[in-house]
Amino acid sequence: MKQIRVLLIEDHFLARMALHSVFASQPQIGIVGEAADGEQGIEMYRTLLPDVVVLDLRLPRVSGFDVIRVLRKERHPARIVVLSNYQGSEDIYRAVQAGAMAYLTKDVSGEEVINAIQNVYRHLRYLPRIALDRLAERMPAVELTPREREVLTCITQGRSNREIADELGIAEKTVRIHVSSMLEKLGVRDRTQATIYALQRGLVHFD
């Protein structure tokens, strides 16, 4: 198995050492760089191009939220795991909206951190129940048609309209119509918010 190259962006030395300890017995995960602030993290990402970024939200110089936004707009968009002390719905929402694919609190087990990294490396979201519960208040309860649910499931898997059309055997124009209708029903602006809805309501599950 190819080693997953991880960049840590964390200003606390002891937190970085704790992650070193977690990964020590995991030959499939290797730390290729460490940054102590957001600006340095952005620079190191552009130099190292790691597979996964693990970062805190409260960083000096450039906040974790801004780091996420910048790295997601890179030519090679980053796959990001947030590891934070904060469990508030606003922090989780802002991080996921900015482009984070996983959100963990720092009291989770080392095994869960590894699971999150492995899932994000495979382009899968990893949001544990506590994160989903915090997002519940933002997600409206609405009824989708069976076809809209199929399209939503494909969206959570990161598929484009063309790929969804091929998967469901329908025209790409029809997919666009379903996506537009679904987003309007959910009261969300984009696919990221639609994915949060699907996860929170249990319409799809990622192992």
Q: What is the mean pLDDT of each run of 10 residues along the chain (207 residues)?
A: 90 90 88 94 96 94 93 93 81 86 89 93 85 66 81 88 94 94 83 78 56
Can you tell me the distance from the alpha carbon of 77 to that of 102, in angstroms, rounded to the nearest whole number? 15
CATH topology of domain 4-136: Rossmann fold (3.40.50)
User: Which residues have C-beta within 8 Å of that of residue 188, sequence separation ≥ 6?
Assistant: 194, 196, 197
pLDDT of residue 86: 74
Amino acid making up residue 204: V
Can you tell me the distance from the alpha carbon of 178 to that of 175, in angstroms, rounded to the nearest whole number? 5
pLDDT of residue 195: 84
Sign of CA pseudo-dihedral 205, 80, 182, 129: positive
User: Which residues have C-beta within 8 Å of that of residue 111, sequence separation ≥ 6?
Assistant: none
pLDDT of residue 137: 61
pLDDT of residue 136: 65
Domain residue ranges in the chain = 4-136, 139-200
pLDDT of residue 207: 45
Task: Name the architecture of domain 139-200.
Answer: Orthogonal Bundle (1.10)
Distances (CA, A) of 67 to 126, 150, 171: 19, 33, 37
Question: Do 4-136 and 139-200 have matching folds?
Answer: no
